[in-house]
Every structure is written in structure tokens, then in C-alpha cells.
Structure 1
Amino acid sequence: MNKKVVCLVFGIFLSLVSFFSFDNYVKADIDGLTVTPLIGDSDVTDRFQIIGDSNLERTLQISLSNFGIRKLRLEVVPTNATTSMDGKIVYTDDVKAGQYGLKYAFSDMVKPQRVTLGPNKTKDLKFKVKLPSKKINGLVLGGFSIRSLDSAVSGTADVPVWLTDDNKPVGGILSLHNLSLDVIDKKPHIIVNLQNKEPGMMKNVIVHVTVKRKSWLDRFNLGPKTMSADLTYPKVAPNSRIPVDFDQNTTPIQAGKYVVKGAARSGKATWTFHKTYTITQDQANDINKRCKGLIYNKTTTYILIVCVLVSLIFLIFWAIWHSGRS
């Protein structure tokens, strides 16, 4: 074999080895994009860590590389971590201060940026982070969410930013936040939102929740069935909601009072929940009209028809009996 060919193959092999061994980049779902936090001298390579230094300004750098064949239009948005339905830490929501007890929003400390990357191009972005003037209690789990501005390109990438004054671990406390409705893949969903209002990361949170719509048919054991969910969340972000999803599939949302009960456990700590929520007819109609393939339950209608027929038969027999006595 030609020596030049051997050298070329060997060089490509070394390049591939060095590329896959370089582990301080962040996994990106946007095709062709590689995101690298330029952290510098630190053992932690997948996120930024800011400890102490309240009321100061810090500069963070992120390198974006486009190895794809198309131009990328991106926006880097500062936000806070939230907890997904499958128990992952995500940065998909635009979180504001005050939500779920959050004292400091990362979006108030740094401005977003937009960038256009051509194929095989790299750009380094600098972000000036203005830290709060007061001490940060616990952990503020911020992050940069890299999002595509092109509708033809989907996906996101995240770079976490941990902010704390003392780096001491803080636990979490779970409570019931609310009951909400949503449409996902053109199907109605009832979502029970728990919340961690403390500035501490939680791990291995086990949750059991039931939802039951009240109905007069319950006395005949013909009412709606109790829905239940048993889930484990590997991680729960500080000051975030914990969504428990009840997929209704083809069952439309019905107005009425819904009783939510449940319990959660993390380590030795346990919490219980019990509250009644009301879904109005307008809320139910708004969700149902945005869904496809719904199958409506006719049980109540059939029972009413039977009751009307029985009443009519009773009245007819009563009229016959009464006329016979006259």
C-alpha cells in the first residue's frame, strides 16, 4: 500500500479518536450542532459552576460549531431548569422569578443572544452574568437553552449553570401546585402539577397520584373510574414543577369537580396531597375542540332516557288505574 495512503488513513484515525475522546462538549439535538462550554481550569466540564462572588459580574463563554450542511440560525436563551414528565432536568420553559418559589431567575442576570452559523463554521459567544446583590440560598439551577430559529430545523441544546454561595446541599419539599389541562399530539391530557418550592435538587422521588371526577352516578357504581399514576423521577430541579400526566387518549374532558389524592417519597421524607379542583365547561370545551378522534360516553344519556321511559310507563299505568276507579 502507498505510504501516503497509510499516513492519510492513520491521520484520520487519530482525528476520530481525539474527537470522540473529547468529552467536554454538550449533547445537542440540533442536527450538525456541537456546543462546548469553555470552562477553563475545572474538573467539571459539562456545566458552568459559579460559587460565591455575590454582586459581581462573571463572563461565561460558549463555543458553537456547525458540522452540518445547512446554515443554522440559533438563539441562546438564559432560563432556569425545570423537571420534565419523565424526571429529567430540562431548560425548555422560559422561567420567571416568583414561579415555584424561585427567588432569582437566570434570565434576569444575563441577556439572550442570536447567532447565524454557516456550514463548517464555529463561533464563540461571551455572556456577562450579573450576580444578585444578596446571598444566594441553596442552588439556583440556571442554564443556556440553544434553540433553532428555523422551523425546518428542530431540537435544542442546553448548557447548565449552577449558582450557589456556599455549595452546601439543600433538600426539597414537595407540595400540590394545581391541576391543569393540555393538548399533546391532539389528545386531551389532565396534568397534576406538584412543585418543589425549595432551592435544592432532589433525587429518586417516588410519586403516587389518583384523580377522580365526582358524579351522581357514583352511588350506583357507574361513575367515572379513578385514574392513578405511579412514577419515579430520577431528578427534580430546584424551584420547579413536577408534572404528573394523565393521558385521556380518546376520552374527552368533562366539566366537574376532580378530587386529587396522592403521596410522594424521597429518601426518608414523605408528603401527602388531597385537594378538589373544578374544571369548567368552557375549559373542557376549549381542550376538546382542539383534539381529534374523541369518543363521547353516552352512559348518562342512556340512563336519563331509561328514567324518562320508566316515568312515562308509570304515569300511563297510574292513569289507567285512576280512570278504572272513577
Structure 2
Amino acid sequence: MNKKIIYVILMALFATFSFMFTTQKVKADIDGVTVTPLIGDSDISDRFQIIGKPNSTRTLKISLSNFGIRKIRLRIVPTNATTSMDGKIVYTDNVKSGQYGLKYAFADMTKAQTISLMAGKTKDVSFKVKLPSGKIDNLILGGFNIYALESSVSGNANVPVWITDSNKPVGGIVTLHNLALDVMNKKPHIIVNLQNKELGMMKNVIVHMTVKRKSWLDRFNLGDKTMIADLTYPKVAPNSRIPVDFDQNTTPIKAGTYVVKGAARSGKATWTFHKTYTITQDQANNINKRCKGLIYNKTTTYILIVCVLVSLIFLIFWAIWYSGRS
């Protein structure tokens, strides 16, 4: 029998027995890799849940299997949950204590690890988690972000770790954090960052937001249009930003004063926002030069040219009239 066929059969059997005798796997978007949190006796099988006292230590184990045909190096990084633009809980950002009101960062409780995993092999990795010395008020939503170090292998897997002093559900509070600029797919974006500054997960957060650049052209109804966002975030992580994206497409970022207004609602709670931000010319230039296909609006230039021409015509007629009187 061909060696390649034998290898495929063995790998299929390996995958079958692994599925039968392990706990529920975490969805992994790394080609050929499965990730399984070894929970033990618990009804919860897709995450670790720690209810512990301050200064206590827990050991968490994750099983990783390589079903590919090549050796792979995996990086396992502890971090805190953040909220994506489409309202999902993600663990891809490097979160530090102090961000968005976060008192304790999961990255400070345990260390990142790098492992090498041969083709067709499984390895269990242990992490000692040292809980903070202070009281944990409600919920710390940490997790492990797992990704391959090889550039040819994309994707990542996440293993959530919920740390609490009780099982009581808690809510959050939404406030306005800042206005930021970014480049995505070589297009400029204005992002209004709200934040959940509390240690409580939120669900179904509805956001209505407007952004308007102030201009003297507003008097003639020729200024920039008001940008409007109506979004729903199914889930919002504790102590995380809530990004409200305004995709500019082919419109370049303009320097000036921007007025941000809006409201967020979750259940019966409602929060309103109204603040003014300034985008400098240097900030605008830094974003625009990294973008492609921008179309610049020349309305202001045309109006100035018309004003200059009208002024020149007026001066010419005035000079003719004045010379005729003398």
C-alpha cells in the first residue's frame, strides 16, 4: 500500500479517537490545529471559569493537536477580551492594566509560552495563574490567544478564562472615550471609541452616533455632510472599547473641529454623548498618505477662486468709475 495512503488513514484514525476521548474543542482557525481546554468535571466545556480568592493560584491546561503534515510553532499569549467592530468578543489585542478602566490584566497573572508541535502530535500545556491580591469586583474576562509563528500559517484560536469572585451577573456603563483615525484596506476611517469601563459583560448594546466637521461653508449649506452610524453590538467585553467606525471610502481626512453626538442603550439603561474633537493637519496628512484612490473635494478652492474673480471685477469697475469722476 502507498505510504501516503497509510499516513492519511492513520491521521484520520487519530482524529477520530481524539474527538471521542477529549472534551469540547475551541473553534480554531489555524490550519490543521485543534485546541482543547482541559476543564475537568464541569458543565462548562468551552472556557475556564475561576472563582477564587485573592492571591490564590490555579493551574490551567490546554491540549493542542497538529493534524498537519509539517512541524508548527505556536504562541500562546494571555490577554483580556476586547470588543470588535461587529460586536464580538475577541482576544487578539495586547491589553494592559489601566486601559478602559481595567484594574487587573490577565497578562499579569500568567506568562506567554511558545511550543513546537510535530505533525500528528498532541501536547498539553500548563499555565499557573496567580490571582491578584486585591478583591475582584465582578468579572475579569481574560483568555489565551493562540497563533502560529510561521508566516505561511494564518488565523488564531481563543480560549476564554473567566475570573470572578461570584457567579452574580453584572452590567456595564458606556462612556465616550476618544476619536481616533485609522487606515484599513488602504482606506481612511474615523473611529469614535466608546468604552465599557466596568467589569461587567454587556449584551445587545444599541448605538446611534453622528459626527460632523464644523466649517464656515455650513452657513451656505455647502459644508461636509453629517456622518451617521446606527449599530447593534450583540456582546461587549468588560473594560473594553466599543469602536464605532465611519468608513470614509475615497474621501480624505480633513483637519478641523469635529462634533460627536450620540446615545447608547442596553436594556433600560441609556447613555448620551456630546463632545468636540480636533484633527490636526499633521494627523490628517499622516492618514491620507497611507491611503489610495482618494478623491479630494475642491469646493472650497472653487469658491475662493470665484470670490477672488468677483473682487477683481469689482475693483476694475470701481477703478473705471473712479477715474471717470476725476
Is the pair's TM-score, using the shorter chain for normalization, greater than 0.5? yes
Residue in structure 2 matched with residue 164 of structure 1 by the alignment: 164
CA distance in 2 between partners of 1:302 and 1:16 (Å): 70
Residue in structure 1 matched with residue 48 of structure 2 by the alignment: 48
Cα distance, 1:217 vs. partner? Answer: 0.3
* RMSD after superposition: 1.8
Is 1:101 the equivalent of 2:76? no
Cα distance, 1:76 vs. partner? Answer: 0.3
Residue in structure 2 matched with residue 316 of structure 1 by the alignment: 316
Residue in structure 1 matched with residue 58 of structure 2 by the alignment: 58
- Could you tell me which amino acid in structure 2 is paired with residue 267 of structure 1? G
Q: Percent of aligned positions with the same letter in both sequences?
A: 80
Name the SS for the 1:320 alignment partner: helix
Name the SS for the 2:42 alignment partner: coil
Is 1:30 the equivalent of 2:30? yes
Structure 1 residues 80 and 244, CA gap change in structure 2 (3 angstroms):
same
Name the SS for the 1:150 alignment partner: coil
Residue in structure 2 matched with residue 287 of structure 1 by the alignment: 287
User: Any gaps of 5 or more consecutive residues in structure 2?
Assistant: 1-8
CA distance in 1 between partners of 2:18 and 2:75 (Å): 29
Residue in structure 1 matched with residue 195 of structure 2 by the alignment: 195
Residue in structure 1 matched with residue 112 of structure 2 by the alignment: 112
CA distance in 2 between partners of 1:109 and 1:221 (Å): 55
Residue in structure 2 matched with residue 267 of structure 1 by the alignment: 267
With 150-159 and 190-199 compared, the bigger mean Cα shift is at 150-159
- TM-score calculated relative to the size of structure 2: 0.94
Residue in structure 1 matched with residue 5 of structure 2 by the alignment: none
CA distance in 2 between partners of 1:209 and 1:20 (Å): 49
Output aligned runs, 1:70-109, within 5 Å: 70-109=70-109
Residue in structure 2 matched with residue 131 of structure 1 by the alignment: 131
Residue in structure 2 matched with residue 232 of structure 1 by the alignment: 232
- Could you tell me which amino acid in structure 2 is paired with residue 294 of structure 1? L
CA distance in 2 between partners of 1:310 and 1:23 (Å): 79
Cα distance, 1:42 vs. partner? Answer: 0.4
CA distance in 1 between partners of 2:22 and 2:265 (Å): 38
Residue in structure 2 matched with residue 5 of structure 1 by the alignment: none
* Conserved? CA contact 2:194–2:242, under 8 Å: yes
Cα distance, 1:72 vs. partner? Answer: 1.6
Cα distance, 1:20 vs. partner? Answer: 8.2
Residue in structure 1 matched with residue 186 of structure 2 by the alignment: 186
Residue in structure 2 matched with residue 252 of structure 1 by the alignment: 252
Residue in structure 2 matched with residue 148 of structure 1 by the alignment: 148
Residue in structure 2 matched with residue 4 of structure 1 by the alignment: none
- TM-score calculated relative to the size of structure 1: 0.94
CA distance in 2 between partners of 1:55 and 1:96 (Å): 19
CA distance in 2 between partners of 1:31 and 1:83 (Å): 24
CA distance in 1 between partners of 2:118 and 2:171 (Å): 44
- Could you tell me which amino acid in structure 2 is paired with residue 253 of structure 1? I
Runs of 4+ in 1 over 6 A off after TM superposition: 20-23
Name the SS for the 2:322 alignment partner: helix
